[in-house]
Amino acid sequence: MPRRPRRWRRGMWIAVLLAPGLAVMTLFVAVPLLSSFRYAFYNFKGVLPDAFIGLANFGDVLFEAPFAAQTWRALWHNCVVFVSLMVVQNGLAYLIAFALLKTLPGHRIHQTIIFLPVVLSAVIVGFLWKLFLHPLFGLVNAALALVGINGPPWLGNESTALGSIIFTNAWHWVGFPALIFLAGMQRISKETLEAARIDGADDRVLMTRIIWPLVAPSTTIVATLTFIGSFNWFELPYVMAGATGSPGGATDVLGLLFYRTAFGTASSGLQDFGHGSALAVLMFAFIAITSGIGLHFLRRREIEA
């Protein structure tokens, strides 16, 4: 005769299964997140909230010296990073995906190679390219010298520093959007592509008129992930340009500003959790709202296609 567990035994069993996961999520996701909204309204003494000060922290980081100028400059740099990565990194990824779609000999090996940098730490990639971009001893300027070009100090020059780090990011990550686009393209039916070819569509028409609208779901994902990544950008600029975004703040982004404000730098070890929390809440709200609106339009585009 089947032994039916009694009701409470079944309940206990479910509770046991759920308990460890729920405990960790509550202690290290839910509570910290809710606290982070609260902390933004407090002045801090060390690591302890001291006095409730209303919206003062928000006012400081948005409108008062010395924070405001840094906040808006950092936000601008994040926007530059996002747009550049969308065009350079993801544009290149789209072309590579189209090339891989042809399943020429060796396409599997190409996929493996292009994804290799993706699995490496941003710390390794950042340091590697920092050495390559060194003005005197770096590989990049040595290569340029071979063709008679005198390369600039890429990371030391205000006009080239941010671009150099964006390039490094594109080298590091291009394989990720490429394989997402490729997966999207592989889902398009053979008949559709065949029919377009018979109608006389060449590769250029195929790529811009037929495939582009049909991979709209992949574009949505790539754009959203690039947006979130660009506005949380931290490791690469930290490793390549330091916590202050050198030279002279030319590479300063919100991630660095947030880290610096909350935990201080090597030269000033001052912790400021109040202003840091306000920045975190603003960044969270900005990312959530903007990607929410963006997602709405991108999804509508998917349906129209």
Partner 1 sequence: MQHGERGKNALIQALLIANAFLMLYPLLVMLLSAFKSNAELFASPFALPESFGGANFARMWSETSFLRYLGNSIGVTAVSVGLIVVFGTMAAYAIARYPFRLSAAVFLFFLSGLMVPLKLAIIPLFIQLNALGLIDTRLGLVLVYVAMGLPSAVFIMTGFLRTLPGELEESARIEGASELRTMLQVMLPLARPAMVIAAIQNAVPIWNDFFFPLVFISSDALKTLPQGLTVFMGEYNTDWGVLFAGLTLSALPITLVYIALSRQFIAGLTQGAIK
Contact pattern for partner 1 over residues 91 through 110, marking x by CB under 8 A: -----x--xx-x-xxxx-xx
290 contacts partner 1 (rule: CB under 8 A): no
Query: Any residues with CB less than 8 A from the CB of 80 and at least 6 apart, and which?
Result: 162, 166
Q: How far is the CB of 172 from partner 1 (least distance, A)?
A: 10
Choose the binding region for partner 1 from 58-66, 71-79, 154-162, 221-229 (rule: CB under 8 A). 221-229
Pick from 56, 75, 128, 205: which binds partner 1 (CB under 8 A)?
A: 128
**∠ CA 123-82-126, rounded to 5°:** 15
Tokens of 256: 């660095």
For partner 1, the closer CB: 3 or 190 = 3
Pick from 201, 205, 221, 298: which binds partner 1 (CB under 8 A)?
A: 221
Query: Any residues with CB less than 8 A from the CB of 157 and at least 6 apart, and which?
Result: 247
Query: Any residues with CB less than 8 A from the CB of 281 and at least 6 apart, and which?
Result: 36, 37, 40, 58
58 contacts partner 1 (rule: CB under 8 A): no
Long-range contacts of 110-115 (CB under 8 A, 24+ apart): 111/179, 111/182, 114/174, 114/175, 114/178, 114/179, 115/175, 115/176, 115/179
Instruction: Decide if 299 contacts 219 (C-beta within 8 A).
Output: no
Eight-class DSSP state of 44: E
Pick from 50, 158, 194, 203: which binds partner 1 (CB under 8 A)?
A: 203
Q: How far is the CB of 64 from partner 1 (least distance, A)?
A: 20
127 contacts partner 1 (rule: CB under 8 A): yes
Span 235-274, contacts to partner 1 by CB under 8 A:
235, 238-239, 255, 258-259, 262-263, 273
For partner 1, the closer CB: 40 or 162 = 40
Pick from 206, 207, 225, 295: which binds partner 1 (CB under 8 A)?
A: 225
Distances (CA, A) of 88 to 81, 156, 166, 177: 10, 22, 9, 12
Residues near partner 1 (CB under 8 A), total: 90
Q: How far is the CB of 218 from partner 1 (least distance, A)?
A: 8
Pick from 68, 75, 88, 118: which binds partner 1 (CB under 8 A)?
A: 118
Q: How far is the CB of 126 from partner 1 (least distance, A)?
A: 9
